[in-house]
Amino acid sequence: MEHFVTTPTRPVLTGSARAVFQRLVEQGPSTRPHIGQSLGLSRPTMSAAIAELEKPGYVEMIGAIRGPLGRSAAEYRVGQGAGYVIAVDAGSTHVRLRVSTLDRRLLTSRQLRFPVSHIAIDADVSQAVAAEVGAVIAESLPEWGPLRVLGIATPTRVVGPEGDTEASRQNVVFCAFTPPKGAAIVLENNVNCAAVAEMHYGAAQGEADFVYVQVGLKIGMGIILGERLIRGRNGAAGEIGHLSFPLAPNTNPLRGEAEHFLGTEAFLARVRADWPPQAGAAPTDTAELLKLAGTGHEKAQRCVARHAADIGAVVASCVSVVDPGLVVLGGGLGASPLLLPGVQETVNRLSYAADIRNTLLGPDATVLGIERLAIEKALLLLIGQSG
């Protein structure tokens, strides 16, 4: 059965009503006096703004808070009429969904892990996205309101400055998936999404300039400068997997070889090839290798140290070009604190000084980032300005 989504006509709001709604979206439930004070709005203006927003159901009263003098103030939050967004992390190893209101209240979530890793997005990933999104829409409740935006993060280059152009719709993630009608689409690179999430909720909060470097099955970089995500003319900014590599006498750099060399599959192949019999059974995956290193296993520690130095060399190249001052490491392997000292030492030795931190969001960084971008798009659609 095909499920269709209809979006109500957007009402025309005054500037004060738009400001109140944006404040509730960004900061969550609050009382009229607190909102009015933070926005510099008078009581009559606040009353008029709330009345405007209540008509289409953009806000709703959820109770009253008693103040220090015994007076009660009505508390409001984003309402049913504002609708919801679906955020999808279409990754190489999984499809993860987060469904939320515009003020980030979680409505439901889903996760599907693939039996084998997908180096590139293909029809199987597209079919999985279709099934997971379809399941969410089929189970949606009336009190969620209308679906406003579907955001999808993919491990691919995304064409277009806003990540949702017609050219982007040719992305292979749509080859077996037709998006629900009536909802806007936001498509963005997964590492860029993780960078956005770290800026708002994670290790880079309060930082205007930083880069997020993901190291896992593949490698990539998201660049934030002046609190803005840098995409590049072709949507390829941060594609460090295409750095010229290797650079040595009598060799020719190969396309994508940096990503292949630093990716977990090639790394594990090197570990197994160099694993001595007296060290016990070779690890079957990076999680097992990191566990061994964490317990003091000498060979495992040397392998991790060697890889940290290799990652550090690539990060040093990024620091030399961008000079971000801060690098956040994430991804299945990059998130490990065991790599942090080696990466930091190598960057300090080869490039400018930079603060190296591990992600605070772990595997949720990408889905939280695409959720943020989907909410910003929904806010733009509803009130005519971005968050």
**Number of helices followed by number of strands (H, E) in the chain:** 11, 13
Instruction: Round to whole Å and give the CA distance between 92 and 125.
Output: 8
Mean pLDDT of 168-172: 70
The backbone torsions φ and ψ at residue 222, rounded to the nearest 5 degrees and listed phi first, read: -110, 135
- Entry pTM: 0.92
Strand bridging mode 326-330 / 355-358? parallel
| Domains in the chain, CATH or no CATH each | 15-81 (1.10.10.10), 83-197+366-383 (3.30.420.40), 205-359 (3.30.420.40)
Instruction: Round to whole Å and give the CA distance between 58 and 21.
Output: 8
CB burial class (10 A; 0-12, 13-18, 19+) of residue 359? Answer: buried
Q: In this structure, is the dihedral angle defined by the CA atoms of residues 313, 214, 362 and 280, taken in order, positive or negative? A: negative
The C-alpha angle with vertex 54 and arms to 50 and 56, in degrees rounded to 5, equals: 135
pLDDT number for residue 163: 46
Contact indicator for 147, 3 with CB cutoff of 8 Å: no
Q: Given a cut of 70, is residue 69 above it in pLDDT?
A: no
Query: What digits encode the pLDDT tens for the residues 37-46?
Result: 999 999 999 9
Query: What digits encode the pLDDT tens for the residues 203-226?
Result: 999 999 999 999 998 999 999 999
pLDDT number for residue 26: 95
Instruction: Round to whole Å and give the CA distance between 189 and 92.
Output: 12
Tell me the one-letter amino acid at 8: P
Instruction: Round to whole Å and give the CA distance between 213 and 311.
Output: 10
Query: What digits encode the pLDDT tens for the residues 89-113?
Result: 998 889 999 999 999 999 999 999 9
Q: Could you tell me the CA-to-CA distances from 255 to 231, 234, 338 in Å, in that order?
A: 21, 17, 29
Average pLDDT, the chain: 91
pLDDT number for residue 343: 98
pLDDT number for residue 276: 95
